[in-house]
Chains A and B, each alone.
Chain A
Amino acid sequence: MVASANTRLFTLLLSEAFANLIAVAQRSVLALLGIVIGTASVVAMLDVGHNAEIESIRQFKSMGTDLIVAQSFGPGRSGGNPSAESIEDIPQSTLSIRLATPLSIMGLRLGRGKGVQASIIGATASVAPLIRLSTTEGRFLSPFDHAETFAVIGAHIAASQEIDDGPLHPGDQLRMGAYLFTVIGVLTETTHNPLLPFDINSSVFLPQESIRRVSGSFPGITILASAKDGADPTIATEDLRERLSDLGYGQNLQTQSARQLIEGMQKQARIMAGLLAAISGISLLVGGVGVMNVMLMNVAERRREIGLRMALGARRSHIRTMFLMEAAMLSLAGGICGTALGVLVAYIYAHYSGWFFSPSTLALPLGALTSLGVGLFFGAYPATIAARLDPIETLRAE
């Protein structure tokens, strides 16, 4: 009974507080503005951080998150590299590996004059499913190409005007060193995968055995592999290392898995987003000080009203609640507007960055709740001042 009466009185005080705010609408809007900007920046930063994280992961996902890259640096073992077959056979003897393929990668400037920097990659047909290569024109390398002077070129190389009277299409000739290669396929343009040591769009894929024509000797070898579905990528990476060391790649072998890189990037993105949100939180605090300022002004201006309310039978707690509610309502309204504004800002940012936009699930409740918390925190002092006023003092007729 008592509890329900209290709730009832609380609701009545709430509507009283609302009416009070409406009465000083202009000032309320000013206080609101600070909170709106503060909340908007917190929400926008959380959202932008969230979307940046999604975006960086999306780049990987286009090529699979199971990718493992092993690179050998420094001198390889004597007697040249193991045959492509011995690497492609790794999955048969290793449970956790689905696919493996060797690549020989070297850099070369193509075309005359300044030319275009390209990665020349000696590869076999098995690389295509591993990093999801597809062609827009022509075909990819096949097991029958062996030492042919065939080349499959990336989208940017094909489109370049500076190489051999480009754009290049299948059937055109491409000069590399002393050799003329025949373009047999053009690759679909892909997003950059930070795990790969080359950019697919500016790469030229040659049959594994042909690369010696360009390089003179075998360049260092890079092994791409993918872990089986459900296999622990850490174990898969270990297994791959082990198999490679059996094949003579024990030293100077560096492995990195997509999962590791994603985790690292996610962690970084989260730290960044947290930092940004913390910085924008400062603007929310400033907004809170604005609310306190406006509430202190309200209290000072309504001293007589407060005294009157007390004379008419308001308890001090009623006065405190009423002013606290005014501050909370101001902040909550500001928080809701600010959240909407923040999402809008983040959406516009994502739109112009060419990102896919998904609002952070954390940002919405966080924006509204922190603004409410800020309102209660900064409203507490003015409300206490109001509740401590002496009715005799405030009602004294001038």
Chain B
Amino acid sequence: MMMIELKDIHKNYGAGVGSIKVLNNVTLTIERGDICAIMGASGSGKSTLLNILGLLDKPTAGRYRLEGINVEDADANTLADLRNQKIGFVFQAFHLLPRLSALDNVAHPLLYRGMSKHERRERAEEELERVGLSDRVHHKPSELSGGQRQRVAIARALVSNPSLILADEPTGNLDSTSAVEIMTLLKHLNETLGVTVIVVTHDAAVAECCRRCILVRDGSIET
């Protein structure tokens, strides 16, 4: 079974004459356990593609199957549950909650599964260990370096045992050393856990770390 199957995906913003075509006839399959980069100039539609893949946005037309599940018929609650169970997000700006410790930030997604605080923290601790931050468990994000913050965010993405990690410019806010660390970590996780990783990036060096590179130009895919 494929991890991701996109078929004839279109995405328009607005309706009628003034509508803007952002994605045009995108067909794409990504295998389970793959690690691939999505590259493209800004405005090419790669962010929109990522939002659709992450179930945050719906295509105007076309079919999207995530692990064999047809998601275009799913209602908002099902989409939220799928995001919670199957997808881990990593953002350029980390998006950690500043008032929570690293541990509670990582534990956060499990809240929506109705897990008790104790269980959540136990799971979160495992993931922080996996990303090498066992000694930073009780630090607030403001007390961590950029690279450490992104590792907390990756731990958060992993905590729900997802089959897919979507990283949107994960190294965009980091210096080159931290960037290499983060990409190494993502690659390592892909290899050891078999989790599918998709990275949106500008950076050719980042793309080189990936097994596959998908190029988006003017809303269409060039492979």
Mark A residues whose CB is within 8 Å of B.
Answer: 5, 8-9, 12-13, 15-16, 23, 304-305, 308-318, 391-392, 395, 397-398
Contact A304 B111 (CB under 8 A): no
Bound complex: CA A374 to CA B94 (Å): 37
B54 cross-chain contacts in A, Cβ below 8 A: 311
Contact B95 A314 (CB under 8 A): no
Give chain B nearest CB distance to A388 CB in angstroms. 11
Contact B114 A311 (CB under 8 A): no
Contact B112 A397 (CB under 8 A): no
Bound complex: CA A333 to CA B111 (Å): 25
Contact B89 A311 (CB under 8 A): yes
Closest residue of chain B to A391 (Cβ to Cβ) is B56
Contact B109 A315 (CB under 8 A): no
Contact A313 B91 (CB under 8 A): no
Known: A313-B160, A315-B77. 12 other contacts (CB 8 A): A5-B114, A9-B112, A12-B114, A13-B111, A308-B97, A311-B54, A311-B56, A316-B80, A318-B112, A395-B91, A397-B92, A397-B169
A-B contact pairs, 22 of them (CB 8 A): A5-B114, A9-B112, A12-B115, A12-B116, A16-B111, A304-B95, A305-B97, A310-B80, A310-B83, A311-B56, A312-B108, A312-B112, A313-B81, A313-B84, A313-B113, A314-B111, A315-B81, A316-B77, A318-B80, A395-B91, A397-B92, A397-B168
Give chain B nearest CB distance to A2 CB in angstroms. 11
B57 cross-chain contacts in A, Cβ below 8 A: 392
Give chain B nearest CB distance to A219 CB in angstroms. 84
Give chain A nearest CB distance to B60 CB in angstroms. 15
Contact B112 A314 (CB under 8 A): yes
A305 cross-chain contacts in B, Cβ below 8 A: 97
Give chain A nearest CB distance to B138 CB in angstroms. 16
B112 cross-chain contacts in A, Cβ below 8 A: 9, 312-315, 318
Say whether B17 faces chain A, with CB atoms less than 8 Å apart.
Answer: no
Say whether B211 faces chain A, with CB atoms less than 8 Å apart.
Answer: no
Say whether B178 faces chain A, with CB atoms less than 8 Å apart.
Answer: no
Give chain B nearest CB distance to A257 CB in angstroms. 66
Closest residue of chain B to A304 (Cβ to Cβ) is B95
A23 cross-chain contacts in B, Cβ below 8 A: 99
Q: Among B76, B84, B99, B168, point to the contact of A312 (Cβ < 8 A).
A: B84
Q: Which 4 A-B pairs have the closest CB atoms?
A: A313-B84, A9-B114, A312-B109, A315-B80
Count B-side interface residues using an 8 Å CB cutoff: 32
Instruction: Using known A-B contacts A9-B112, A318-B112, determine if residue A313 contacts B169 with beta carbons closer than 8 Å.
Output: no
Bound complex: CA A8 to CA B117 (Å): 11
Contact A311 B83 (CB under 8 A): yes
Q: Among B56, B81, B111, point to the contact of A392 (Cβ < 8 A).
A: B56
Give chain B nearest CB distance to A375 CB in angstroms. 23
Give chain A nearest CB distance to B84 CB in angstroms. 2
A311 cross-chain contacts in B, Cβ below 8 A: 54, 56, 83, 89
Annotate B162-197 by CB proximity to A: 1 below 8 A, 0 otherwise. Answer: 000000110010000000000000000000000000
A317 cross-chain contacts in B, Cβ below 8 A: 77
A318 cross-chain contacts in B, Cβ below 8 A: 80, 112
Give chain B nearest CB distance to A129 CB in angstroms. 73
Instruction: Using known A-B contacts A12-B114, A318-B112, determine if residue A397 contacts B91 with beta carbons closer than 8 Å.
Output: yes
Instruction: Using known A-B contacts A308-B97, A313-B84, determine if residue A8 contacts B114 with beta carbons closer than 8 Å.
Output: yes
For B56, B85, B172, the residue with the greatest tally of chain A CB atoms inside 10 Å of its CB is B56
Give chain B nearest CB distance to A245 CB in angstroms. 81
Say whether B51 faces chain A, with CB atoms less than 8 Å apart.
Answer: yes
Closest residue of chain B to A4 (Cβ to Cβ) is B114
Bound complex: CA A313 to CA B89 (Å): 10
Give chain A nearest CB distance to B1 CB in angstroms. 22
Give chain A nearest CB distance to B148 CB in angstroms. 18
Give chain A nearest CB distance to B152 CB in angstroms. 13
Bound complex: CA A5 to CA B80 (Å): 16
Give chain B nearest CB distance to A83 CB in angstroms. 90
Give chain A nearest CB distance to B170 CB in angstroms. 11
Closest residue of chain B to A9 (Cβ to Cβ) is B114
A391 cross-chain contacts in B, Cβ below 8 A: 56
Bound complex: CA A397 to CA B54 (Å): 16
Give chain B nearest CB distance to A328 CB in angstroms. 19
Contact B89 A316 (CB under 8 A): no
A316 cross-chain contacts in B, Cβ below 8 A: 76-77, 80
Give chain B nearest CB distance to A14 CB in angstroms. 12
B89 cross-chain contacts in A, Cβ below 8 A: 311-312
B113 cross-chain contacts in A, Cβ below 8 A: 313
Give chain B nearest CB distance to A57 CB in angstroms. 54
B77 cross-chain contacts in A, Cβ below 8 A: 315-317
Give chain B nearest CB distance to A40 CB in angstroms. 31
Annotate B135-171 by CB proximity to A: 1 below 8 A, 0 otherwise. Answer: 0000000000000000000001000100000001100
Bound complex: CA A23 to CA B140 (Å): 13
